[in-house]
């Protein structure tokens, strides 16, 4: 069983014969219940069926959570952003060519136990963080990286209609020995929305995406950065997530800890980048990605530190 909203990923995979759901349930009639954007002094609430374009253009998001707006504006094309929903975007599947092309039989994500052709194949775009011997497929999205950096919660209804929440960081699974199980969302459970807490670092935030072309392309490396800075750019709090380089939306706690209490200059940014990519496993054509990822994070941190954010130095630590 699959839920259908925007269909911008699901229908593609059905046409490619990658997935064959026995039942499709169109949930667009739930937009009146799960299609709103609400923001107050405590948090931002995003309905699962909000279209990407609506969230990207929302004035409160652009002002108070710019990393979210950035991640959405840089994703896909205007036409797709007008159709795609926020929940569907978070749950999008990898762009690994061996997963999407059924003529390749060795794909543990599509056919458990069949092997991973990508390890010795065309893997330039694939993951260097969170991989396993069973799968090196990357997570291709942008929006979820921003949510992970801001410690968002995801709201869910179980199969009986009972609500519960979990940290978005816990939604996607590492591939391990079972890459075909991509999330901790059980069958029949429905994402209804996301909650992002308002914190001192959300305004000083951005999303930097490096790709082969500037229009409609997936990230080779990306960084979602949010900072709370004290006097002289001393880091009180840093929140960092990486995109394009990992098997799931990747919160880099190591990079955050490397910055804590330091003045954010290029030396500190480079130290954080080294910490973020300390445990990489680069396969073949993807050997350039760790260095690209480090440079992307350094640039994102320095650009975020330079943002003109009023009241940042007076924010509560």
pLDDT averages per 10-residue partition of the chain, 317 residues: 93 95 95 98 98 98 98 95 97 97 97 97 97 98 98 97 98 98 96 98 98 93 98 97 98 98 98 97 94 98 93 45
pLDDT tens digits, one per residue of 233-291: 999 999 999 999 999 999 999 999 999 999 999 999 999 999 999 999 998 999 999 99
Q: What pLDDT shows up at residue 216?
A: 87
CA 90 to chain centre: 7
**CA 202, CA 153: separation in Å to the nearest integer?**
15
Going by C-alpha positions, the residue among 226, 163, 218, 172 that lies closest to residue 191 is 163
Per domain, the residue ranges of the chain are: 2-93+140-197, 205-306
Assigned CATH topology for domain 2-93+140-197? 3.30.465
Hey, what CATH topology would domain 205-306 get?
Enolase-like; domain 1 (3.30.390)
Q: E strand or H helix at 238, and its extent?
A: strand 235-243
Which tens digits make up the pLDDT trace of 142-165? 999 999 999 999 999 999 999 999
- Residue 314's pLDDT is 46
Maximum C-alpha span of the chain: 59
Residue with structure tokens 């960084």?
223
What is the per-residue pLDDT for 315?
42
How many C-beta neighbours within 10 Å does residue 164 have? 10
pTM attached to this predicted model:
0.95
Q: Which residues contact 194 (CB under 8 A, 6 or more apart)?
A: 45, 46, 48, 86, 90, 147, 152, 153, 154, 155, 168
Locate tokens 């978005």: which residue? 168
């Amino acid at each position: 069983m699959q839920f259908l909203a925007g269909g911008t990923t699901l229908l593609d995979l059905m046409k490619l014969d990658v997935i064959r759901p026995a039942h499709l349930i169109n949930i667009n009639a739930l937009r009146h219940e799960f299609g709103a954007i609400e923001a107050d002094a405590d948090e931002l609430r995003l309905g699962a069926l909000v279209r990407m374009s609506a969230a990207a253009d929302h004035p409160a998001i652009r002002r108070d959570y710019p990393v979210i707006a950035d991640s959405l504006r840089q994703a896909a094309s205007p036409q797709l952003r007008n159709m795609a929903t926020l929940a569907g975007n978070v749950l999008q599947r990898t762009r690994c060519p061996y997963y999407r092309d059924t003529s390749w039989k060795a794909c543990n994500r599509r056919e458990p136990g069949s092997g991973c052709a990508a390890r010795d194949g065309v893997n330039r775009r694939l993951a260097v963080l969170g991989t396993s011997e069973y799968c090196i497929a990357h997570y291709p999205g942008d929006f979820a990286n921003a949510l992970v950096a801001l410690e968002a919660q995801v709201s869910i209804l179980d199969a009986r209609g009972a609500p519960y929440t979990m940290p978005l960081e816990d939604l996607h699974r590492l591939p391990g020995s079972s890459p075909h199980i991509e999330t901790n969302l059980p069958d029949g459970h429905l994402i209804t929305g996301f909650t992002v807490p308002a914190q001192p670092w959300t305004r000083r935030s951005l999303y930097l995406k490096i790709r082969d072309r500037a229009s409609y392309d997936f990230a080779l490396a990306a960084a979602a950065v949010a900072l709370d800075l004290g006097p002289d750019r001393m880091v009180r709090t840093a929140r960092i997530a990486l995109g394009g380089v990992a098997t799931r939306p990747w919160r880099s706690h190591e990079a955050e800890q490397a910055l804590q209490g330091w003045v954010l200059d290029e030396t500190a940014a480079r130290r954080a980048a080294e910490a973020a990519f300390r445990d990489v496993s680069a396969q073949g054509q993807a050997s350039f990605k760790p260095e690209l990822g480090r440079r992307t994070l350094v640039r994102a941190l320095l650009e975020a530190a330079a943002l003109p954010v009023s009241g940042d130095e007076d924010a509560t630590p």
